[in-house]
Structure 1
Amino acid sequence: MSDLMEDGMEFRGGTLQLSTENNGENSESRVRGATQSHNKIKTPISVNPSVLSGADSLSSSASSFADARQSTSNNDNAEQPQTVYPRYDVPFDKENIKDFFTFRKGVVENAIQECITALLFPEDGEYLGSWLLTEITLWDNEKERIVLITSRLVMIIKYDFIAMKQMDFRKTYLDDLDTVVIGELVYPPSSLVPERNLRGVRMMWNKGEPLPLKTLWNPFSQEVPFITFASHPIYWHREGNVEERSTFDMETFAQKLQWAIENMPSSACCIHHSPIVIQSYLGIASLLHNKTSMGFFKVRGKFSF
């Protein structure tokens, strides 16, 4: 019996010793994990601190720009494919997207080349890039727009992709911009509009002043001091290389816009990475407008408009 008790005690002692070592290792790994987690959480919070405080409007850099659709973890396996971030809702389906005139091969490229040739002049600055994006108006309506960037301005063009002709355009000079916001498109807490689950970029030149009532309640007003863009629906359905898809990508447009602003010595524009609030509370008209894609040129049964 004494031998058995001695064996048992030795066995339990060995078990206790092993358990203690494991606990030490687990505690040490937990400390390392917590430190790493703290560092990971801390990094995005410290993005562009001087820009957000207004101390230095040009201190943000391309390295601080994070595409939320891709994993931002540095420890992810490099062999894993880049996937669309889950919070993004893919607009339309593959069959519906084929009705868009801009989905046809060469249509967008020809329209952009025509606009560059006809609308850009040497005094507009150096040409930097072109995109087909979705403009989101003050009243939350989506509209298809060609966007050109030069070293001096952003040009927004309304283009008829059926008749293949330019209809209207407006210029926004980079010198006039006081704020650019890049982030998630959100609605006020009291809004009944479903979440968009989409990112966008907003260019502003109102110097922080609220909109006057005559502008706020006029859906046809041309005096709205900001413009909001999101990626074109084709971005999620276009097959091809990254360069071809980037024509429809808001993220690459925002990167180029940020670069252009930072390379203008006279610019005092602040760049913020934060949610973009769309002031829509009920939004029945805009929901119907966007659901039927009325702001896009497409085939609609026997008609095209």
Structure 2
Amino acid sequence: MSDLLDEDLEFRGGTLQLSTDTSVADVSESNRNNTHDNTARRKPPTSVNPSVLSGANSLTSSTSSFADARGPEEQANTAAAPPDDNQAVFPRYDVPFDKENIKDFFTFRKGVVDTAIQECITALLFPEDGEYLGSWLLTEITLWDNEKERIVLLTSRLVMTIKYDFIAMKQLDFKKTYLDDLDTIVIGELVYPPSSLVPERHLRGVRLMWNKGEPVPLKTVWNPFSQDVPFLTYASHPIFWHKEGTAEEKSTYDMETFALKLQRAIENMTSSACCIHHSPIVIQSYVGVTSLLHNKTGMGFFKVRGKFSF
């Protein structure tokens, strides 16, 4: 009888030991699976890239940051599917206006933008402005969060922002910003302060700064007509999302192409101390009722508005 009890205890002990081993294996396997799932679901971290003066690899930082802004599923879909020129680069971002409204833009008409840009290059650029590097039609976002349609010319020495009347086809005003004066360039998503009541934009931009880290004076902040704002903020023109054609044809309206060319121009200036960062661009707007109405109706763009055009 004693022998039978001893054998039974040994058997139960063996069974208990076997069950414990299996449980440990299952837990280990489960932990590995959970770790793998968490890794797969984790979004790419947002990091600040080094200065554009660090080397040639920084030339692709703008494109890399643009790709990292997408979620894992969107990245996988983009990798699996062939590129489509008519598809928005970032489906998760809100597309400004729609295909019907975009036809009201005078700049949507064939040849208008090319003619205006060529006129500005001929009339406003001189040899002392440096080598011509490119031209774009972009959206300037003012200190008061108002969107404005602007022609932007880039040379090896400066960025020229031009207000142009696309109805009368003439220049109205322009401003030169010299690359030597820039101390910081920021490329990233346009965001509002946490306490802001303004809805999220879901749009990327580039900001050129020359205030050397100093805050904007209050007399400038509270004056919507001030010309002393120490930065410029650009986003892609609405036509970029609706323009049909090749990537090269759409690049005229693409902020990212401008940012990359600007980065190269800064890097070629050996004396420049300007740094480029990839991080959110904060727009100091807290209520923004006026700017919301202004941007929703496209008041900063030359459009057909019923029986009127302005």
Q: TM-score, normalised by structure 1?
A: 0.83
User: Aligned residue for 1:13?
Assistant: none
| TM alignment of 1:289-300, pairs within 5 A | 289-300=294-305
| Distance in 1 separating the partners of 2:110 and 2:150 | 18
| Distance in 1 separating the partners of 2:198 and 2:155 | 35
| Distance in 2 separating the partners of 1:24 and 1:283 | 53
Question: Which of residues 224, 228, 232 in structure 1 aligns to 2:233?
Answer: 228
| Distance in 2 separating the partners of 1:25 and 1:288 | 56
User: Aligned residue for 1:144?
Assistant: 149
Contact 1:70 1:84 in 2 (8 A): no
User: Aligned residue for 1:260?
Assistant: 265
As a proportion of its length, which structure holds more helix?
2
Could you say what the CA RMSD is over the residues aligned between the two structures, in angstroms? Answer: 2.8
* Structure 1 pair 70–206 and aligned structure 2 pair: CA distance change class (3 A): closer
Is 1:285 the counterpart of 2:290 in the alignment?
yes
Unmatched 5+ stretches in structure 1: 1-15
* Structure 1 pair 301–32 and aligned structure 2 pair: CA distance change class (3 A): closer
Is 1:170 the counterpart of 2:175 in the alignment?
yes
Shift of 1:86: 3.9
Amino acid in the other structure paired with 1:170: K
Shift of 1:80: 0.8
Question: Which of the two has higher C-alpha Rg?
Answer: 2
* Structure 1 pair 279–23 and aligned structure 2 pair: CA distance change class (3 A): closer
Question: Which of residues 219, 222, 231 in structure 2 aligns to 1:214?
Answer: 219
Shift of 1:25: 7.3
User: Aligned residue for 2:114?
Assistant: 109
| Distance in 1 separating the partners of 2:193 and 2:142 | 16
Contact 1:202 1:227 in 2 (8 A): yes
Unmatched 5+ stretches in structure 2: 1-18
Matched position secondary structure for 2:94: coil
Alpha-carbon displacement from aligned partner over 1:143-193 (angstroms, at most 9, x marks no partner) = 000001111110000001001111111100000000101001011111111
Alpha-carbon displacement from aligned partner over 1:246-304 (angstroms, at most 9, x marks no partner) = 11111111111111111110111111100000011111111111111111001111111
User: Aligned residue for 1:67?
Assistant: 66
| Distance in 2 separating the partners of 1:196 and 1:227 | 18
Amino acid in the other structure paired with 1:63: T
